[in-house]
Structure 1
Amino acid sequence: MIKNKITSVSTIFILSIVLVFSSCNNKAKKTVETEPDKEVDETVYASDVVPFFDDWKLILGDGSNVGIANKFENRDFFYTTNDDKTNWIVFKAPNGGDTHGTSNNTRTELAQIKKWYPKTANDKLTATLKVMNVSATGDARVAASHAVVVGQIHSADAHENEPLKIFYKKFPGHTKGSVFWHYEINTAGDDNSVRWDYSTAVWGNDFSVVGSDENTYPDEPKDGIELGEEFSYEIIVKDGIMNLKFSSEGHETKTFTKNLIESDFTTKADIPEQTQKLFVPIGQDGVERKSAYTGEGCFFKLGCYNQTNGKSPEVNMNWCSGAETHNGDIQKQYADGNYSEVWFKTASITVSDAAVSNEGYFAKND
């Protein structure tokens, strides 16, 4: 009798414990179920991918100046994507639309906030990128057709010329495109309309290789870079000398140097043959001041500067592509391939202690 009574008490005690824990679990579960949903921001911003945006201002493909672009995106021009391996920053610019400053071309591009002087510089920019699209239309005789600039050095002073532009260009129907870089003379005198660029091939052809007529393209470069194929550039300016390095898996690494404070083009006799063929016939036959870019503040630019525009080639056979712009309708241009698109995976900038504010340039060009 006593044994049964003890068993009954034990059973009741165990049941009580089970009920207590069950009740607690139900209460906890109920609390979780009734807790309001919390919004979670899953956006990956460009400044999360490459955390260097305090050094830049961003211009969009509609001509607007965003300023410093931390935690910013615009799905038409500037955002991030993932290719199942890594995050990339996407820069897009249509053939036609509102442009920034005095340029004829649209851009979604970062411009360095500080400027530095070539003679005393110790400044560096690196980037790893892939070009995903260049314009589907454009006059094949025009050197800028089907091209995009992915990195620059720009002057903030005087003529505001460009000692460096890094291009990618691919003709329709070709699998491979070309990477080349330009040096633009810093024109002597007041008439900057006579300035010209000198182009140097990295992989594939230089700027001067064009079609024989509007719709006939030159031969495809054998050692070119495909759309979607990664390549990297490194720009170092130190003590007046610009050093360039280009690398891509499966391609020869290329290096170049250019003096930015002593000109190679101070007389008409110095004008290269390439320039004689491309620029002199359209009246761009200037010479450079002896000191080149000495004393001028320069700054880096990085992004997608679309070189293909809708202006008539009759205006300028090197820069006016006559491409489709759908009267500036961005979505129509995106729908049929009339835009440039560049993805950046990594980038870095080193700014020397001597660098100073570049606000004067932005004030003139906003």
Structure 2
Amino acid sequence: MNLTIRLLFLALLSIILTNCSPESSAKDSDTQATVTTYPSDVIPFMEEWNLILGSGENVGQANRFEHQDFFYVTHDGETNWVVYKAPNSGETHGTSNNTRTELAQRKKWSPMTNAKLTATLKVANVSTTGDARVAASYAVVVGQIHSADGHENEPLKIFYKKFPGHTKGSVFWHYEINTAGDDNSGRWDYSTAVWGYDFSVVGREESTYPEEPEDGIALGEEFSYEIEVKEGIMYLKFTSEGHESKTFTKNLIVSEYTTVAAIPEQTQKLFVSIGQGGVERENAYAAEGLFFKQGAYNQTNGKSPELNKNWCSGAETYGGDIQKQYETGNYAEVWFKTASIFVSKDAVSNEGYFIKND
């Protein structure tokens, strides 16, 4: 074997041994470990939505997008989850007092349309501070139907709420009236319990809490919801292992709240007492375009309860310092394992609208 061939052979052998070495394998492994799994890889329907972050940033479509402070993927055992996270204080939109990391559907649809939204999720955190007398304290909204027209009210909000010191929290849903006339200041919500309490159960003092609900849902406990609107009727289904499944229906095109006498007792106590005693238009949401929302819409904020005893929580916000809020538990965090959306073909574009609404 001549010298040139021998040198080529040794060089080739060196390359082979280097590529097969443990150090080389570790480098390959490190390279593979840096591959990002995006929320759109876990729940591949992001083209249907636009995304707002808890910082107030308008992301638009969230395909192959993540933000480690607000919207990312985490791994729990064998399952990937999409994490939505929102502090008690940050940039908000429209007339809302609250931050959100939330998807808003890009198309709107009539209540007569067949539209459906599903999710399997668990709530990882709600704010640890707030005024217990304020109904929205320690709560997060995890799914909505929102109006794109008129007063831009909300025929559906699905809440999770847990008082400090409790193991179990409550899941409940709201219907907000589509107020008659041009003045929307009299609008109000009616709350229905799924598991645990409804919105109206509050503490007697700022730091005293009601008894823990016996049939509640714990932080980290999975539950699912299914929302379907068809021919003007909203159908809701809630399921969770170890809990009774619950179903509800609500007419979205014929109101039951058209007179003062029809205002429920719950509403009299919560809303009429603070000057919100409106009545609803007879056809409710029949003439309006609706759209779905999903994510973490934090209901706890730092505004004084003197402004509104139902919605202003007086929670810790550390001057809007997001990282300090995260360090001290003053945020909402929701993990979604699965979700799906369907709307029949007559839906119309709602592009850009979501940055205006509550």
Compute the TM-score of the two structures, normalised by the length of structure 2: 0.93
Q: SS in structure 2 opposite 1:131?
A: strand
Q: How far, CA to CA, are the matches of 1:335 and 1:30 in structure 2? A: 48
1:114 pairs with 2:107: yes
Q: In structure 2, what is the equivalent of residue 141 of structure 1?
A: 133
Q: How far, CA to CA, are the matches of 2:210 and 2:196 in structure 1? A: 12
Question: In the alignment, is the contact (CA less than 8 A) between 2:104 and 2:354 conserved in 1?
Answer: no
Question: In the alignment, is the contact (CA less than 8 A) between 1:59 and 1:100 conserved in 2?
Answer: no
Q: How far, CA to CA, are the matches of 1:24 and 1:325 in structure 2? A: 63
Q: In structure 1, what is the equivalent of residue 67 of structure 2?
A: 74
Letter in 2 for 1:98: E
Q: In structure 2, what is the equivalent of residue 129 of structure 1?
A: 121
Q: In structure 1, what is the equivalent of residue 168 of structure 2?
A: 176
The 5 A counterparts of 1:165-314 are 165-314=157-306
Q: How far, CA to CA, are the matches of 1:275 and 1:317 in structure 2? A: 13
Structure 1 unaligned segments of length 5 or more: list them.
1-11, 13-18
Q: How far, CA to CA, are the matches of 1:21 and 1:230 in structure 2? A: 62
* CA-CA distance at 1:32 after TM superposition: 3.9
Q: How far, CA to CA, are the matches of 1:250 and 1:21 in structure 2? A: 69
Q: In the superposition, relative to structure 1, how do residues 78 and 213 fare at CA in structure 2: closer, same or farther (>3 Å)?
A: same
Number of aligned residue pairs: give it: 347
Q: In structure 1, what is the equivalent of residue 84 of structure 2?
A: 91
Question: In the alignment, is the contact (CA less than 8 A) between 2:239 and 2:245 conserved in 1?
Answer: yes
Deviations 1:134-162 (A, max 9, x none): 00000000000000000000001110000
Question: In the alignment, is the contact (CA less than 8 A) between 2:305 and 2:314 conserved in 1?
Answer: yes
Q: SS in structure 1 opposite 2:185?
A: helix
Deviations 1:73-96 (A, max 9, x none): 001100000012200000000001
* CA-CA distance at 1:101 after TM superposition: 2.5
Q: In structure 2, what is the equivalent of residue 3 of structure 1?
A: none
1:64 pairs with 2:57: yes
Q: SS in structure 2 opposite 1:359?
A: coil
Letter in 2 for 1:80: V
Deviations 1:321-353 (A, max 9, x none): 000000100000000100000000000000211
Letter in 2 for 1:72: F
Question: 40, 54, 74: which is aligned to 2:47?
Answer: 54
Q: Percent identity?
A: 74
Deviations 1:261-303 (A, max 9, x none): 0001000011000001100010000000000001101000000
* CA-CA distance at 1:166 after TM superposition: 0.1
Letter in 1 for 2:69: D
Letter in 2 for 1:114: K
Q: In the superposition, relative to structure 1, how do residues 167 and 364 fare at CA in structure 2: closer, same or farther (>3 Å)?
A: closer
Question: In the alignment, is the contact (CA less than 8 A) between 1:157 and 1:361 conserved in 2?
Answer: no
* CA-CA distance at 1:193 after TM superposition: 1.1
Q: In the superposition, relative to structure 1, how do residues 170 and 31 fare at CA in structure 2: closer, same or farther (>3 Å)?
A: closer
Q: SS in structure 2 opposite 1:277?
A: helix
Letter in 1 for 2:332: S
Q: How far, CA to CA, are the matches of 2:289 and 2:9 in structure 1? A: 74
Question: In the alignment, is the contact (CA less than 8 A) between 1:148 and 1:169 conserved in 2?
Answer: yes
Q: Identify which range, 231-240 or 38-47, moves more after superposition.
A: 38-47
Question: In the alignment, is the contact (CA less than 8 A) between 2:94 and 2:355 conserved in 1?
Answer: no
* CA-CA distance at 1:27 after TM superposition: 6.0
Q: In structure 2, what is the equivalent of residue 335 of structure 1?
A: 327
Q: Identify which range, 355-364 or 210-219, moves more after superposition.
A: 355-364
Question: In the alignment, is the contact (CA less than 8 A) between 2:117 and 2:228 conserved in 1?
Answer: yes
Letter in 1 for 2:316: E
Q: In structure 1, what is the equivalent of residue 350 of structure 2?
A: 358
Question: In the alignment, is the contact (CA less than 8 A) between 2:152 and 2:357 conserved in 1?
Answer: no
* CA-CA distance at 1:365 after TM superposition: 5.2
Q: CA RMSD in A?
A: 2.2
Deviations 1:31-81 (A, max 9, x none): 84799x785551110000000000000000011110000010001100000
Q: SS in structure 2 opposite 1:200?
A: strand
Structure 2 unaligned segments of length 5 or more: list them.
none
Q: SS in structure 2 opposite 1:348?
A: strand
Q: In structure 2, what is the equivalent of residue 16 of structure 1?
A: none
